[in-house]
Structure 1
Amino acid sequence: MVTQKKAFSQKNITNKRSGEVRISRFKSKSQVLKQKLIYVYCPDERELEIGAIIDDYSFDIIVNNYDIENLDSKVICHFESSRLSLEKQQFLVEATELGAWVEPLVSYLDSRFGYTEVKLLQNGYFLHQKAFSILSTKRTQLAKRIIDVFSSIILGLITSPIFLLTAIVIKLESPGPIFFKQKRTGQYNIEFDVYKFRSMRSDAEKDGAQWASKNDARVTRVGNIIRKTRIDELPQIINIIKGEMSIVGPRPEREFFIEDLEKQIPYYRFRHAVKPGVTGLAQVSYPYGASVEDAIWKHKYDIYYIKHHSALLDFKILIKTIKVVLFGMGR
């Protein structure tokens, strides 16, 4: 439910607070993220848009209410605050002084949901490169590369029996090559050949490129098993060694589909600022899907990953991926 109240005056900004400074009763960020009501401040013409995006969330919002008497322990989020008048910006500053929790709306939703609401993104979000450690810190990139190479070698040694068995059963079940090679778009929009175990009939795309679906008739019996357990992705160890992919990152997509998706999904190509991954946050957080709506949801997780990348996040994704492999909860 969205409540809108646009009353505003200079008197309400000063509010006769007598210089009183209060201390927020929030003891932790977790309390902030559990609030059932938050206040959002944005340019008047964006109110309905903000309300439409947040209307399905599990909390209520009040938009542009500058008549709040007690700001202590209120959660206040702002959107496009640079476009607010100086008086309204001052209200947000004073809210911080008087005990409110104040932060950008996108950042708050990031923390609350673990994904980025891409409909709220603007150019400025991506222009602060230093806020993206994975993009701005060479040490982070070098560490990730070292981990990628080391992990892929260890993974290759451990899974070599599975590698051999999979190759045999694929060859026995259906005619065609064991491996499947396909052009995908990687970092900096550079195309490369991604390697996979073949999980479909060799004539799967005789009628042209098409989305893979959950119960795709083109998938073989062996293919169905190796797709669910992600065994079909194992040959991408080659791509990691070559430096084209990482263990963790956004999944690489085909240029044929990207050209269509970028017309419908804001900043879709930003995922190419980093190396694509064998597994990723979207793969362990969102169920299998093969539609534009599914691509939008996966993009939310991919943007979140790029923004909040850390070694700990990579580790959590890998643990969840192992669960997928062990219990067959993949696509």
Structure 2
Amino acid sequence: MSFKIIPNQAEGVSFEDISILRRMEKPFKSKKEALKQDIIYLYCPDEAVSEVEAIAVNYEFTIVINRYDIDNFSKKVICHFKSAALGKQQRNFLVSATECGAWVEPLVSYLDERLKYTEVSLLHSSYFLHQKAFSILSQKRTQLVKRFLDVTSSLAILIVTLPISLLAALAIKLESKGPLFFLQKRTGQYNKEFKVIKFRSMCNDAEKDGAQWADENDIRVTKVGHFIRKTRIDEIPQLINVLKGEMSIVGPRPEREIFITELEKVIPYYRFRHAVKPGVTGLAQVSYPYGASVEDAVWKHKYDIHYIKHHSSFLDLKILLLTVKTVIFGMGR
């Protein structure tokens, strides 16, 4: 990642001749072309520059910040961040860029589509205050279709996997003492708690010392538990939660309230994930490797917010197919 930070030059820029550039207009043929540019131009208040620098160090494209001496807007990506804090002349510059063929949009929206996750550290309340931008929240038809697919696919998967479930149940009971199923309170849609159902994969007294983050190589996991976790067999009973309407096939993974209380202190808008039903699988699970730390939770939240904003039946199908791939190769969680 490289930065080219130009001091605020808005006062020295003349906008009188900028209309001449309209004759040289060469707009992008599609959004796809705009998302592949090696350089994007960002305009933000000087005090916001450090926020962008902090999250962009690993980007594979260059961000040029607050350069107001551009003399040709043809095929340029112009992004803005906290534009309400810019001066009138600076905002006029952005309007002129739009008129002259540049691709202009908020930085968060541009990064959202280019990176396929949401930079949650750059979010502010206005991002969430346009419910119509979240079809999964605002369109009843979308919700009904998702529920129909949840019920039909859950029933189908439960029937197809019945032999596997019976073998898993037998193996669990033969290996260790304790209940067959593991029931644990998780926080679901609208912050309502419910009991998630899973095949038990840990020893019976796994949390005798209190709640703990699950670790990839957790010593509390039994031999059978390690296998059914790796293959996601332990998740099959959660389809009962789906049939009960407590979960969806695809959505943010449900978390425990004790951890949510801690995570929301350091992760912006963490509880927004509860605007939708939690899922048996999700975009974070197929996009990010197994993790059990606050940093991992931040990354998974980036994918969860992206999923809620860009939900579609096609995206759900894509996540399901990626889940199958994840199970086959034993990756993620």
Q: Identity rate of aligned residues, in percent? A: 66
Structure 1 window deviating more from structure 2 (90-99 vs 51-60): it is 51-60
Pick aligned residue for 2:286 from 259, 262, 284? 284
Paired residue for 2:54?
52
How far, CA to CA, are the matches of 1:13 and 1:136 in structure 2? 44
Is 1:161 aligned with 2:163?
yes
Paired residue for 2:238?
236
Is 1:14 aligned with 2:6?
no
Shift of 1:326: 2.7
Q: How does 1:154-303 map to 2 (within 5 A)?
A: 154-303=156-305
Shift of 1:69: 1.2
Secondary structure of the residue aligned to 2:197 is strand
Secondary structure of the residue aligned to 1:263 is coil
Secondary structure of the residue aligned to 1:14 is coil
How far, CA to CA, are the matches of 1:9 and 1:216 in structure 2? 56
Is 1:95 aligned with 2:114?
no
- Unpaired runs of 5+ residues, structure 2, are none
1:218-272 residue CA offsets vs partner (Å, 9 max, x unmatched): 0011101110111100001110011000000000000010000000100000000
Normalising by structure 1, we get a TM-score of 0.97
Q: Is the Cα–Cα contact under 8 Å of residues 80 and 107 in structure 2 kept in the other structure? A: yes
Q: Is the Cα–Cα contact under 8 Å of residues 27 and 103 in structure 2 kept in the other structure? A: no
1:84-126 residue CA offsets vs partner (Å, 9 max, x unmatched): 2222111111101112111110011111110000000001101
Shift of 1:55: 2.4
Q: Is the Cα–Cα contact under 8 Å of residues 267 and 298 in structure 2 kept in the other structure? A: yes
1:13–1:251 Cα change, 3 Å: farther
Normalising by structure 2, we get a TM-score of 0.96
Q: Is the Cα–Cα contact under 8 Å of residues 290 and 331 in structure 2 kept in the other structure? A: no
Q: Is the Cα–Cα contact under 8 Å of residues 13 and 88 in structure 1 kept in the other structure? A: no
How far, CA to CA, are the matches of 1:290 and 1:324 in structure 2? 18
Q: Is the Cα–Cα contact under 8 Å of residues 7 and 67 in structure 1 kept in the other structure? A: no
Q: How does 1:2-41 map to 2 (within 5 A)?
A: 2-10=3-11, 12-14=13-15, 16-21=17-22, 22-41=24-43
How far, CA to CA, are the matches of 1:128 and 1:104 in structure 2? 14
1:104–1:167 Cα change, 3 Å: same
Pick aligned residue for 1:312 from 314, 319, 323? 314
Secondary structure of the residue aligned to 1:240 is helix
Secondary structure of the residue aligned to 1:92 is helix
Paired residue for 2:65?
63
Q: How does 1:80-91 map to 2 (within 5 A)?
A: 80-91=82-93
Q: Is the Cα–Cα contact under 8 Å of residues 188 and 274 in structure 2 kept in the other structure? A: yes
In structure 1, give the amino acid aligned to 2:59: Y
Q: Is the Cα–Cα contact under 8 Å of residues 21 and 72 in structure 2 kept in the other structure? A: no
Q: How does 1:59-138 map to 2 (within 5 A)?
A: 59-138=61-140
Q: Is the Cα–Cα contact under 8 Å of residues 215 and 291 in structure 2 kept in the other structure? A: yes
Shift of 1:14: 0.5
Q: Is the Cα–Cα contact under 8 Å of residues 181 and 194 in structure 1 kept in the other structure? A: yes
CA RMSD of aligned residues (A): 1.3
Pick aligned residue for 1:151 from 150, 153, 170? 153
Q: Is the Cα–Cα contact under 8 Å of residues 15 and 69 in structure 1 kept in the other structure? A: no
1:100-153 residue CA offsets vs partner (Å, 9 max, x unmatched): 111110011111110000000001101111100000111111111111011101
How far, CA to CA, are the matches of 2:19 and 2:217 in structure 1? 66
Q: Is the Cα–Cα contact under 8 Å of residues 227 and 330 in structure 1 kept in the other structure? A: no
1:31-70 residue CA offsets vs partner (Å, 9 max, x unmatched): 2222121110111211122122212211111111111111
Shift of 1:11: 5.5
1:314–1:18 Cα change, 3 Å: closer
Shift of 1:8: 2.2
How far, CA to CA, are the matches of 1:9 and 1:117 in structure 2? 28
Secondary structure of the residue aligned to 1:3 is strand
Secondary structure of the residue aligned to 1:192 is strand
- Unpaired runs of 5+ residues, structure 1, are none
